[in-house]
Amino acid sequence: MIEQVRETVRSIVEGEGSVWAGRGFFVVDTVCREAAGRVDEVEVTVDCDGITEQGRPVGVGIDDCTALSREISDRLGGVLSPQAEQEADFALTVMSAGLGQPLRMGRQYRKIMQQAAVQDRLPQVDILFRDGRKLEGAVLCGIGYSGGTEEDIPAEIEVMYEVRELLPGKKRKEWVERRERIRTADAKAVSEHFEFK
């Protein structure tokens, strides 16, 4: 049943001929919770990598989430309650992948790089490693895949960042540029970097 719910949601958002897919929307995650042997709660997270004619990124707005919620609810009603005389009883939440949330798909990494190029800026990410180390505002230079589908998270990313180091023959620390290939398996979370000014 859970897989059927996920496939239904994916077909609505990303299916052939879908208005949402035409605008660049895609499903990041569909979480289903069960109680008493039936799905009683569905949580859908969507993102968008579309670009307007003016070159601006298309975002996922509240109105989009509301319209998607209605459409998904109507279709899931038939999936979760196949008997026409019985109405499906489930809670549905549709939300956008929020600021600061970890990137979960390769398409989200490509979205960051694409939007940065359109806006003529460098794509930046924050990385939290499993050992507690952090890299904030590292420039995302490249993405490496090791098979799988385009939806899969990349096997590694290449980043560039600056650190203050004491160089030989110097009395003060200086800013030094470093490049590093990071296995995403070594990172607890990678998220898009935002600066609020």
pLDDT tens digits for range 19-74 = 999 999 999 999 999 887 777 899 999 999 988 888 778 889 999 999 999 999 98
145: pLDDT strictly greater than 70:
no
177: pLDDT strictly greater than 60:
yes
15: pLDDT strictly greater than 80:
yes
Q: Return the exposure string of 107-124: e unless at least 16 CB atoms fall within 10 Å of the residue's CB, then b.
A: bbbebbebbbeeeeeebb
149 confidence band (pLDDT: 50, 70, 90): low
Helix (H) or strand (E) segment spanning residue 48:
strand 38-48
User: Strand, coil or helix: what is 183?
Assistant: strand
Nearest to 128 by CA among 189, 183, 194, 179: 189
Distance, in Å, from the CA atom of 137 to the CA atom of 26, rounded to the nearest integer, reads 26
Nearest to 66 by CA among 44, 84, 86, 90: 44
pLDDT reported for residue 88: 64
| Dihedral of the alpha carbons of 19, 23, 26, 31, in degrees to the nearest 10 | -60
pTM for this entry: 0.80
